[in-house]
Amino acid sequence: MLAYLDHHATTPCDPAVVAAMAPWWGEQFANPASRLYRPALEAAAAIEAAAAELHQGLAAPSGAQVVFTSGATEANNLALKGLAEAALSSGNPRRRLVSVVSEHHAVLDVLRYLERHGFALTLLPIDAQGLLNPADLQAALDPGAGGPVLAVSVMAANNEIGTIAPLAQLAPLVHAAGALLHVDGAQAVGHIPLAMEAWGIDLLSLSGHKLYGPKGIGALLVAPGVQVAPQLQGGGQQGGLRPGTLPVPLIVGLAAALKQALADREGRALRLAALRDQLWTGLQALGGLTLNGPPPGPQRLPHNLSVTAGGVDGTRLHQLLRRQIAVSSGSACSQGSASHVLAALGRTRAEAAATVRFGLGRSTTAQQVEQALRAMADALDQASNRSAASRPER
């Protein structure tokens, strides 16, 4: 059976989450905005309870707004375009945005869009482990570097190489410069500790399907006093910040998934780190593989591993692997184009193609890790035999 080891692309919706959603599809179908009868009020109460669950689970500051969106992509768009538009219309003179080269496309492409519309963009480099240097951020925040910065966007954890950003250390720098901190938490929420208020996060994006919840739902948490302009106009739901009839079952599912993910987070992280270490030890024994991102430890997601097979034909490698294991060759969203994250680490196009990203998850077993190691051993043998003779010994 195919071993699913691609939990950074998406996670299965947990059966308990499916059960929590069940009544809200059928019997309890009322529109939470129709406040004149009991079923609608019950739906509205379910939405409020879900928002409270997110608020509490993410340790948001009191008065923070929970805005439900279709996912992290939409949350990032709302956060960054919303901040930019609010600054333009309120006469706030800040016109610079700062982020990092290794961000997800759902941040980078939004920032590039804003760059085409008059905002200046600075993308900070990463080191060999995928880490941002706080001194580079400090320098970019200097108004002398091109004007005052409106916002800084840094992902909490990287979806390809698992690097965990030192957010609590970065926020004071951002705030000292009068800027706001947006965090794409899609790969972090429910997986590693994250505290919105204590860490000084002003806007936090998350996604249901990355934490064993349903697809098509996410949220943006906005700290009190942060001005965000809506990017949709309509019926005034969610304080007008993101109008549209609320998908009650998905919202109930998101909250249930977060609650469950936070409840088993520590135990899951310990268990998956041990399996990840077993995988990495076995892969090292095969030889010829380079680790991408930080070594297993506190700077890396416990369930992530990314390795590059130098000199191996990546297309062939993945053709062989796909019979045994579901893994990614980089970002699932990049549709064949070489990963910008691996490029930033100095990997060539060919090396990026010969990269295997493992994402372990709640259902991953030691047997699946053994299966992955056998699949890698076989695939590396075969892909190596058929590729150029210039390849190093394995």
Ligand X SMILES: *Cc1c(COP(=O)(O)O)cnc(C)c1O
- Pull the structure tokens for residue 315: 């297309």
Shortest distance (Å) from residue 301 CB to ligand X: 11
Pick 188 or 352: Cβ nearer ligand X = 188
Pick 158 or 260: Cβ nearer ligand X = 158
Query: Which stretch of DSSP H or E encloses residue 88?
Result: helix 72-90
Closest chain position to ligand X (CB): 71
**Which contacts of 198-202 are long-range, i.e. CB under 8 A and separated by 24 or more positions?**
198/59, 198/168, 199/167, 199/168, 199/171, 200/167, 200/168, 200/171, 200/172, 200/174, 200/175, 201/167, 201/171, 202/151, 202/226
Shortest distance (Å) from residue 160 CB to ligand X: 9
Pick 159 or 339: Cβ nearer ligand X = 159
Rounded CA-CA distance 132/89 in Å is 32
Q: Which positions from 80 through 109 interact with ligand X, judged by CB under 6 A?
A: 104, 106
- Pull the structure tokens for residue 46: 């379910």
Rounded CA-CA distance 312/317 in Å is 7
Shortest distance (Å) from residue 76 CB to ligand X: 6
Shortest distance (Å) from residue 184 CB to ligand X: 5
* Residue 165 found at the interface with ligand X (CB under 6 A): no
Q: Which of 13, 20, 140, 155 binds ligand X (CB under 6 A)?
A: 155
Q: Which of 159, 260, 355, 387 binds ligand X (CB under 6 A)?
A: 159
Q: Which of these ranges, 58-66, 183-191, 195-203, 230-238, lies near ligand X under the rule CB under 6 A?
A: 183-191
Pick 201 or 373: Cβ nearer ligand X = 201
* Residue 210 found at the interface with ligand X (CB under 6 A): yes
Residues belonging to the chain: 394
Pick 186 or 196: Cβ nearer ligand X = 186
* Residue 207 found at the interface with ligand X (CB under 6 A): yes
* Cβ atoms of residues 45 and 194 within 8 Å: no
Q: In what order do the strands lie in the sheet with 65-69?
A: 65-69, 218-222, 203-207, 180-184, 149-153, 96-100, 120-124
Longest dimension (CA), the chain: 75
By CB under 6 A, the count of residues binding ligand X is: 13
* Residue 276 found at the interface with ligand X (CB under 6 A): no
Q: What is the DSSP string of 282-348?
A: HHHHH-SEEE-SSPSSTTB-TTEEEEEETTS-HHHHHHHHTTTEE-BSS-GGGTTSPPHHHHHTT--
CA atoms lying within 13 Å on the CB side of residue 215: 4
Q: Which of these ranges, 131-139, 144-152, 182-190, 249-257, lies near ligand X under the rule CB under 6 A?
A: 182-190
Q: Which positions from 106 through 135 interact with ligand X, judged by CB under 6 A?
A: 106
Shortest distance (Å) from residue 381 CB to ligand X: 32
Residues with catalytic roles = 333
Shortest distance (Å) from residue 51 CB to ligand X: 18
List CB contacts of 267: < 8 A, sequence separation 6 or more. Answer: none
Shortest distance (Å) from residue 330 CB to ligand X: 12
Pick 218 or 296: Cβ nearer ligand X = 218
Contact pattern from residue 36 through residue 75 relative to ligand X, giving x for each residue in contact according to CB under 6 A and a dash for the rest: -----------------------------------xxx--
* Cβ atoms of residues 49 and 255 within 8 Å: yes
* Residue 268 found at the interface with ligand X (CB under 6 A): no
* Residue 223 found at the interface with ligand X (CB under 6 A): no
Q: Which of 14, 184, 313, 351 binds ligand X (CB under 6 A)?
A: 184
- Pull the structure tokens for residue 135: 């001194």
List CB contacts of 81: < 8 A, sequence separation 6 or more. Answer: 110, 113, 114, 229, 231
Shortest distance (Å) from residue 118 CB to ligand X: 25
Q: What is the DSSP string of 128-160?
A: TTSPPPHHHHHHHHSGGGTS-EEEEE--SB-TT
Q: Would you tell me which residues interact with ligand X (CB under 6 A)? A: 71-73, 104, 106, 155, 159, 184, 186-187, 207, 210, 218
